[in-house]
Amino acid sequence: PEHQCVNSAERYSLIGQYMVEAARAGIEDGVLFEAIAETPKCLPDAVQFLTVCSTGNQRLKIINHGCALISYLDSITSCHIFLS
């Protein structure tokens, strides 16, 4: 049998999915929030696929710090959730 190595894009996508789901567990339904992804590689994709945040509606900001970090900000209470 052949073994396939998971490439970095797939790894970031999987990590991003877990990070988004973990953050959403701490946010009540119906709460408006914004997201900040601190890498342009794959994490923003997970945020856009699994939440209502996107660069198009300006609720997703991408800052290239080169680390796997997603921050969520409750738009009303200013409560932050940081996941790395």
pTM to 2 decimal places: 0.76
Query: Can you say whether residue 78 is alpha, beta or left, with left for phi > 0 and alpha for psi between -120 and 50 degrees?
Result: left
| Position 9 confidence tier, pLDDT thresholds 50, 70, 90 | low
Q: Residue 75 pLDDT > 90, yes or no?
A: no
Q: What percent of the chain has pLDDT over 90?
A: 13
Cβ-contact 72, 52 below 8 angstroms: no
Comparison of pLDDT for 83 and 63, the residue scoring more: 63
Q: Residue 51 pLDDT > 60, yes or no?
A: yes
Average pLDDT of the segment spanning 59-69: 89
